[in-house]
Structure 1
């Protein structure tokens, strides 16, 4: 790994990204990987990491079964015994790890998708992956019980939804406008399938599916943590490989082409990576809404700079999901609510803020 190198001058032109006064360079690894770095991004990442650590400590220590904060360090280094060991190894440890991994995956997925489509309101949820996963989960749980597991059904449903979107656009994942339109249509179809299955089956059986369809971290295991960890392990290096091309692509296709990048191929690869990350998250936690949508935009607004903000988006996603899960576990008035309900509230609040902000600016 080499030191941060100052970025060269950026050609001016139509569609050029806004410049910031913050020092910028590329963190390079060998001659292949070059990740855009700014000082404000580094400071923000450190703050986010500190908040994630605080949220994680609260998750493990609060409540009747919580591990006392004074003994948390010893428990994490292998000294947990009795109740503390059970809570750490069977209850809250796997759940927290899955929340961290799933939040990172969703945040990174949203950043890739929004950068590729140049749509701040775009995410894999918008193009039907979550709805497809919900339909697959419904079919597996209610019509094929014992034959297909719910996570596998959700994964297959999400993949089939993305395949339908790919075919429907006529251009694969290369045309952002067609991608979003096709995705909305596929999402509507998948939602109709889910509603039909739930309506057709017994109400008691359908109630068991509610938590998963909304997104849930209840009863997670280390196998789930391993699954999302492997998805991140594969996707993160591939994301780093295209980070610089994504940053260049945000200045416009013509400029990116002139600088030797291949914007169409970069967009297609970014969307595919976003789908893989989102599908991995769905397979372990269900279709958790709005994290992929809000995390990249929150990261961008904190730094007030252009760019895909891949690392910051993943950290923001992890923080949002850990905070939402902490609420799901500790708020007595809303006990046992799926974590997806809280992320929907976060997303709704964000969209309301965005609407008010745009109206004040006269954009709406």
Structure 2
């Protein structure tokens, strides 16, 4: 059965995403009027408008929307598995580890593996370490988060060491992976993210019922025929896949994985796991943040990772000061 509130929320978010996407295509150093944008999208625009929309703005819009959706979906999965609002890929160090491995493939450390594969490797290693260091608690409790924070700090330090020990040109090439940027993303990494999201999203939806059941006490979950260990493992694998591919496209994007699921949860019915709403909200946040970064100091561009961090930090403080970190409270 289709839950009416969820359907309405998802439709409204989808419509908002379309509007934000049109704004991203229209506004910038060169503002394209709505009529000109429509003509360009229909293939009848001027050469200048066609170049700006097709070659410059559409690729970064696609990269931003996919990255935001992937990070938000990974964050929603992680928060649900850990039953903790703070358990997101960025907080527990997956972003930093994926960034460190991606940077290592760029700065000439002798590693010739492509950044997407290296980012996935870093995300997997960080999760495995956090899971192992947290002991019997697995993905539950604060030990998992504390272990992830330590791994993230170490990964960040390793990234800075690599950047400070290579030639300036190599460091500049790796810089976007350290702050989060949608500028000049490679087609291959965006295609890999699109494929990963096309695979991960249906799999996440298939886990939805089990994820909702995980919010109940574990004995109740088991009595309903759900295997918590298998569900957590599947959710972790999906989170690793989505986070690693997103970082390979845009670098570490601050707090999208925290903000988007929280906003989606606020709009949705209590007790649900709003995977679709979280993904749509994440895409909206990324598109708007990228647009704001292009417009605020135009023609200078503020990397999208800095914009999301500035916008999301007050909200993170509000969560810490006003709400229990337990996802069920």
TM over 0.5: yes
Spell out, residue by residue over 1:311-341, the C-alpha distance to the aligned partner (whole angstroms, 9 max, x if none): 1111110111111000111112682221000
Output the TM-score relative to the length of structure 2.
0.89
1:1-364 residue pairs with structure 2 within 5 A? 4=1, 27=2, 37=3, 39-144=4-109, 147-170=112-135, 175=140, 177-202=142-167, 205-303=170-268, 305-332=270-297, 335-358=300-323
Q: Using the alignment, how far apart are the partners of 2:129 and 2:199 within structure 1?
A: 25
More strand by share: 1
Larger mean Cα displacement after TM superposition, 302-311 or 241-250: 302-311
Gaps of 5+ in 1: 5-26, 28-36, 360-364
Q: Using the alignment, how far apart are the partners of 2:54 and 2:28 within structure 1?
A: 17
> 2:137 touches 2:143 (CA, 8 Å); kept in 1?
no
Q: Using the alignment, how far apart are the partners of 2:319 and 2:131 within structure 1?
A: 30
Q: Using the alignment, how far apart are the partners of 1:297 and 1:334 within structure 2?
A: 33
Q: Using the alignment, how far apart are the partners of 1:63 and 1:188 within structure 2?
A: 36
Larger mean Cα displacement after TM superposition, 216-225 or 308-317: 216-225
- Structure 1 residues 133 and 314 mapped into 2: Cα distance closer, same or farther (>3 Å)? same
Larger mean Cα displacement after TM superposition, 62-71 or 229-238: 62-71
- Whose RCO is larger (CA < 8 A, sep 6+)? 2
- Structure 1 residues 220 and 197 mapped into 2: Cα distance closer, same or farther (>3 Å)? closer
Residue 184 of structure 1: how far off its partner (Å): 2.0
The CA RMSD over aligned residues, in Å, is: 2.5
Gaps of 5+ in 2: 325-329
Larger Rg: 1
- Structure 1 residues 148 and 242 mapped into 2: Cα distance closer, same or farther (>3 Å)? closer
Residue 93 of structure 1: how far off its partner (Å): 0.7
Spell out, residue by residue over 1:219-250, the C-alpha distance to the aligned partner (whole angstroms, 9 max, x if none): 12543432221111111111111101111211
